Amino acid sequence: MPKRSRPKIDRRRLLALTGIGLPTAMMGLGSATHATESIEAEAPRSPDEALAALVKGNAHYVARPRLCIRKLSRQRARVAAGQAPWATIVSCADSRVPPELIFGGLGLGELFVARNAGNLVNTAAIGTVEYGASVLGSPLIVVLGHSQCGAVAAACDVVTKNARFPGSIGPMIDPIVPAALAVQAAPGDFLDNAIRKSAQRTAQRLESASAILADLVEAGKLKIVAAHYDLDTGMVEFLK
């Protein structure tokens, strides 16, 4: 299959297109200069280093499940002028899945997080992770599903019971329905299979829907992965 041609958008142009402007970005949210000084000296720099850090952090959380005491006042002062998060997490809004805690009690300025029910990616979420990767330099994106996800359970009910939901809940879970249909006949637990499949589909969609992210992946500057968090054990499994 011939490689598709994608427009190259550099950081300066992206800032201009988003209306942020280079002077504003240098003073605030996207400051590359200040952001480099804002993070810990040992912060991961590559996609593989970032992934290894999350794996290590989650192992710490599982083995020693207590809140880590961080020097937040010092961190707050360091990151006030800018940020350089080393991983971006697309997570469910479920109150039992706080990314900073389940990855080892991370502090300010380390994770760039987009959360919504079902860990989905609409225009706002795609724009958020594009900003994290291309402007802030985050080298890793994790789409984090979790056990007993209510949004995926609702999509499974649509498939098996023709369920209907009020307000905006129905349209919100529509993107999960294809994942449920894809694993409906698969062996194992239907809900758990659908949760995993939905996270994988969302990770794939990020790269296919965004030329910015696809270019970074192709250049080896970004990795996009799907993962599954178990509410009972606290363990995060990174999916193939």
How far apart CA 140 and CA 224 sit, in angstroms, is 6
- Three-state DSSP at 236 gives strand
Amino acid 52 reads A
Residue pair 67/101 in contact (Cβ under 8 Å)? The answer is: yes
Instruction: Tell me the pLDDT of the chain averaged across its residues.
Output: 85
**What domains are defined for the chain?**
42-70+83-239 (3.40.1050.10)
Residue 190 has pLDDT above 50, yes or no: yes
For the stretch 35-73, pLDDT in tens is: 333 344 578 989 999 999 999 999 999 998 766 556 788
For the stretch 198-213, pLDDT in tens is: 999 999 999 999 999 9
Residue pair 53/87 in contact (Cβ under 8 Å)? The answer is: yes
Lowest mean pLDDT, pick from 8-17, 45-54, 181-190, 226-235: 8-17
* Predicted pLDDT of residue 42: 77
What global pTM score does this model have?
Answer: 0.82
How far apart CA 93 and CA 107 sit, in angstroms, is 19
Residue 166 has pLDDT above 50, yes or no: yes
